[in-house]
């Protein structure tokens, strides 16, 4: 009797185990929702530093003519905002957006070419690595001689800054793709464009986003050098103007604006990265 009952209950047990396995598989294959950033913790350190600077200036420990307190910088920002601050910000954002888009698109095109073709890598890689070592300020005299003093040299300089991080990371991502996947794709008759769209780019996407975020940060850095080229508008112009007029409050206000704009643009790109790479298991998620 016990044997019969055991034999009758075995199929139900197997069905239950099968359902549990299917549920676990579905749960593991479902995209994980990224953990939301707990912004109060991220704001704690900057607020603490600002508070210490304000207290140090009030106590006379920090000379205000060298490092103005945050309250004075806030007043400077308010004064600039009542004039043409937002015009400067809009001009800088437009320059970075255009330069970054041009540099990133060219980097993706050349990265795909160098990553997929050995002859292209042998031909282009040494020159790109040599050009990557040139400092941003070294490009300014040449761009002024070639392109004049209008918007073109500024955008070109920003594009140069954005190009190399995207290019280097994309080539590294393509080289890390398993060649067996490409061979299987060729066996199934996929064209070169389909191999790029369905295998190479998805596999190299994490490295590509790393390059994009690094290139975006360098675009903001190159912006300062770009807006030193006979510019009359832009946050970099405010920075240079504060230096020439010995106004550290304007210099620090411009630095604060650059840091804020850089953080906002990086957060936007990171949001896109998290959405596109929701399938990736982050160490923080695995540790939960």
Q: Write the CATH number for 189.
A: 1.10.3720.10
What pLDDT band is residue 148 in, cutting at 50, 70 and 90? Answer: confident
Q: Give me 66's structure tokens.
A: 């060298």
Q: Is residue 19 part of a domain?
A: no
Residue 288 has pLDDT above 60, yes or no: no
Parent domain of 164 = 68-286
Q: Is residue 199 part of a domain?
A: yes
Q: Is residue 6 part of a domain?
A: no
Q: Is residue 42 part of a domain?
A: no
Q: Is residue 41 part of a domain?
A: no
**Phi, psi of 38, rounded to the nearest 5 degrees:** -85, 90
Radius of gyration of the chain, Cα coordinates, nearest whole angstrom = 27
Give the helix ranges, DSSP H, for the chain.
Answer: 2-29, 39-59, 70-81, 85-116, 118-132, 136-147, 151-175, 179-187, 192-195, 201-226, 235-244, 248-276, 283-286
- Dihedral angle, C-alpha 183, 184, 186, 192, nearest 10 °: -80
Q: Is residue 22 part of a domain?
A: no
Contacts 24+ apart (CB under 8 A), 63-72: 65/248, 66/248, 67/248, 67/252, 68/248, 68/249, 68/252, 72/249
User: Which residue matches tokens 């200036």?
Assistant: 57
pLDDT digits (tens, 9 = 90+) for 225-284: 888 777 788 998 898 888 888 888 899 999 999 999 999 999 999 999 988 887 765 554
Q: Which residue has the higher pLDDT, 218 or 18?
A: 218
What integer is the mean pLDDT of 35-40? 55
What integer is the mean pLDDT of 115-123? 88
Under a CB-based contact definition with an 8 Å cutoff, are residues 163 and 107 in contact? yes
pLDDT at residue number 241: 87
Under a CB-based contact definition with an 8 Å cutoff, are residues 223 and 234 in contact? yes
Q: Is residue 15 part of a domain?
A: no
Its pTM stands at 0.78
pLDDT at residue number 258: 94
Q: Is residue 2 part of a domain?
A: no
Q: How many domains does the chain have?
A: 1
Under a CB-based contact definition with an 8 Å cutoff, are residues 108 and 207 in contact? no
């Amino acid at each position: 009797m016990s044997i019969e009952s055991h034999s009758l209950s075995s199929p139900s047990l197997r069905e239950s185990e099968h359902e549990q396995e299917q549920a676990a598989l579905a749960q593991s294959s479902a995209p994980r929702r990224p953990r939301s950033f707990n912004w109060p913790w991220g704001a704690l350190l900057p607020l603490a530093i600002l508070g210490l600077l304000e207290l140090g200036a009030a106590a006379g420990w920090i000379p205000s003519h060298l490092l103005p307190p945050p309250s004075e910088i806030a007043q400077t920002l308010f004064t600039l905002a009542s004039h043409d601050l937002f015009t400067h910000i809009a001009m800088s954002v437009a320059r970075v957006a255009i330069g970054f888009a041009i540099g990133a698109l060219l980097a993706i095109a050349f990265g795909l070419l160098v990553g997929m073709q050995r002859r292209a890598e042998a031909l282009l890689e040494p020159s790109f690595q040599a050009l990557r070592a040139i400092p941003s300020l070294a490009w300014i005299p040449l761009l002024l001689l070639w392109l004049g003093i209008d918007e073109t040299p500024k955008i070109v300089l920003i594009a140069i800054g954005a190009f190399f991080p995207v290019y280097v990371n994309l080539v590294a991502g393509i080289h890390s793709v398993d060649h067996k996947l490409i061979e299987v794709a060729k066996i199934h008759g996929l064209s070169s464009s389909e191999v790029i769209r369905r295998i190479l780019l998805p596999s190299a996407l994490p490295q590509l986003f790393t390059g994009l975020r690094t290139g975006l940060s360098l675009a903001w850095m190159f912006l300062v050098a770009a807006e030193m080229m006979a510019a009359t508008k832009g946050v970099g112009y405010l920075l240079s103007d504060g230096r020439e007029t010995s106004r550290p409050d304007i210099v620090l206000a411009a630095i604060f604006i650059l840091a804020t704009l850089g953080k906002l643009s990086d957060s936007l790109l990171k949001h896109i990265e998290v959405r596109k790479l929701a399938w990736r298991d982050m160490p923080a998620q695995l540790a939960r």
